[in-house]
A and B are shown apart, each in its own frame.
Chain A
Amino acid sequence: MTGTLAAQVALIGLAKSGVIAMLAVGIVLIYRTTGVVNLAHWAIGLVGVVVYVLLTGGDVVPPLLAAAVGLAVSALAGLVAQRLVFSRIHRSQVVTMILVALGVGSFFAAVSQMLLRGQRGEIIVTPFLPGGTVDVAGAVILTSELITILVAMATCAVLLPWLKRSRSGRALRAVAQNREAAQLAGIDAARYAELAWVIGSGLAALALLLLIPHSAGEQGGVLSVVHLVPLGSLLIPAFGAALVGGLISLPAALAGSLIFGLVQELLILAPPPIADEREVLAFVAITVLLLLRTERFFASNAELEALRS
């Protein structure tokens, strides 16, 4: 039944795409509104995951509430990072900006580990998603994977129309396109930059939280601190997906997420040499995207200049 197998793999890939998409959307939003390439993205999301793990540890806080709190903490971390640090850097100092992002990331990674002190060993992480499997038209996948797909789709279904049609969404896009012109229209650019950080960081936490059942499943339901850190490894395909849209276009980044998640899983079905080197293929794809300078396709030269200065 290769057809069912393919469908099953495709659904698993779709779940992965969903996680990548939520990370990529945050990266694009933050880059467009503030010019920061957020290498601290995963660490900021990680703080929320750690908060979730700590809250659920005592079996007092219901998992869904803990997940919501974790998400809020990450959003707050993003807000603080923007207000205290990134708003003070001039955009033209690219290397300083990347280094600062690394520093902020390393700060939140250290804070996460500090919060987990005394829980060095393995912790049993309570999932907030139901376990078990579901049958989707003959293809059997984990319930958590189905929920991940649905959450990702819901996120897009809310976020994209909000950006397109609401007053705040429009203002956010205006700040992204031309900061000064937006300010001259009475838009508080700093506030909307902070809003982009809050949304992006919240989405990062959501993406990593959705990965928990998957990682926990691989580890037999028991996660150690060590297993939390590699959650960030999906950040590389997320950057790849964002690069499909030149870090600028959200729809293209979503398409990129689909490609990176889906193709990587589907290649499992390919003959061995290709199937074994899936990761390497992804890196080759990212390198090609970098060399293509994809941002050219999504913004005029003038806009790019404005982003850089």
Chain B
Amino acid sequence: MLRVEGLNVSYGPVQVLFDVSIEVGDGEIVALLGTNGAGKTTVLRAVSGVIPVSSGTITFNDVDITGASPRKIVQSGLIQLPGGRGVFPGMSVRENLEIGAHSLGRDHARRRRAIDAVLDEFPDLRDRLDQQAGTMSGGQQQMLSLAKSMVVEPKLLLIDELSLGLAPKIVEQLLETLRRYVERGVSVVVIEQHVDLALSIAERAYFMERGSIRFDGPSAELHGRDDLLRAVFLTSTGGR
């Protein structure tokens, strides 16, 4: 479904990604792990088209999307959940969902149907349609962020930090929703600080360090690689 080959990215004179290659199959969950500043988020941003690529190719469903505009990429069914604050805090829940439906075009009825369909999956949000997103709890905001991304029925979802700062119970709720979508054939790439969580949901994992892929393979195999995981655990245990 997604094939990234030999991706190089620079911020000004500083190169931050070196020959990164990633592959994601249909209906697959892939974890992207690594130390802080390893370049995980940069990979997602490059794939989404919000930062320029120096070299390499990105193919999505056999279409070359390297250097395409974020708008084109979203329209082709590839959506990224922004890291951190993914919602628009000054807007209501309904408006946030409308923003999610932006790329469906000017047809008001079509946007409304798409939003209604998503609200069926996220019933909690239906009661809060007029609440300001910024006044909701972190978990609810992340729920909204996910819902907002699902309005356009993406085929591939890129998630930057699903569990960041959320209670395990809420994370479990989010994962349940996510699994429902995966069962319907949506593929997912997820960045996670919480390694155990990532490896429990993903079939395959990539491990990054200083802008390069250091490992890729089945999640179970990565579990045995203490040499790689130590670095991550050292940074992530601090927050737990």
Taking Cβ atoms with an 8 Å cutoff, the residues of A that contact B are 167, 170-171, 173-174, 177-178, 180-189, 299-300, 302-303
Across-interface contacts of A302 in B (CB, < 8 A): 85, 89
| Besides A185-B102, A189-B70, 12 new A-B residue pairs in contact (Cβ under 8 A), listed by A number | A167-B108, A170-B98, A174-B99, A182-B99, A184-B48, A184-B79, A185-B99, A185-B148, A186-B75, A188-B70, A300-B89, A303-B89
Across-interface contacts of B81 in A (CB, < 8 A): 184
Distance to closest chain B CB from A187 (angstroms): 5
Instruction: Count chain B residues whose beta carbon lies closer than 8 angstroms to a beta carbon of A.
Output: 33
Taking Cβ atoms with an 8 Å cutoff, the residues of B that contact A are 45, 48-50, 69-71, 74-75, 79-82, 85-91, 95, 98-100, 102-103, 106, 108, 111, 134, 148-149, 152
Cα–Cα, bound, A181→B91 (Å)? 13
A–B Cβ pairs within 8 angstroms, 14 of them: A167-B102, A167-B108, A173-B90, A173-B91, A174-B99, A177-B90, A178-B82, A183-B48, A184-B80, A184-B82, A185-B100, A186-B103, A299-B90, A302-B85
Cα–Cα, bound, A187→B105 (Å)? 11
**Nearest 5 CB-CB pairings of A with B:** A186-B74, A186-B103, A183-B70, A181-B82, A188-B71
- Do B85 and A185 touch (CB < 8 A)? no
- Do B50 and A184 touch (CB < 8 A)? yes
Across-interface contacts of B106 in A (CB, < 8 A): 167
Across-interface contacts of A300 in B (CB, < 8 A): 89, 134
- Do A181 and B74 touch (CB < 8 A)? no
Across-interface contacts of A177 in B (CB, < 8 A): 88-91
Partner of B50 from the list A170, A180, A299 (CB cut-off 8 Å) is A180
Across-interface contacts of B103 in A (CB, < 8 A): 185-187
Distance to closest chain B CB from A302 (angstroms): 6
Cα–Cα, bound, A299→B89 (Å)? 10
A306: nearest chain-B partner, CB-CB = B85
Distance to closest chain B CB from A191 (angstroms): 9
- Do A188 and B69 touch (CB < 8 A)? yes
Cα–Cα, bound, A50→B134 (Å)? 45
- Do A167 and B90 touch (CB < 8 A)? no
Partner of A186 from the list B86, B102, B134 (CB cut-off 8 Å) is B102
If A167-B106, A186-B102 touch, does A178 touch B88 (CB 8 Å cutoff)? Answer: yes
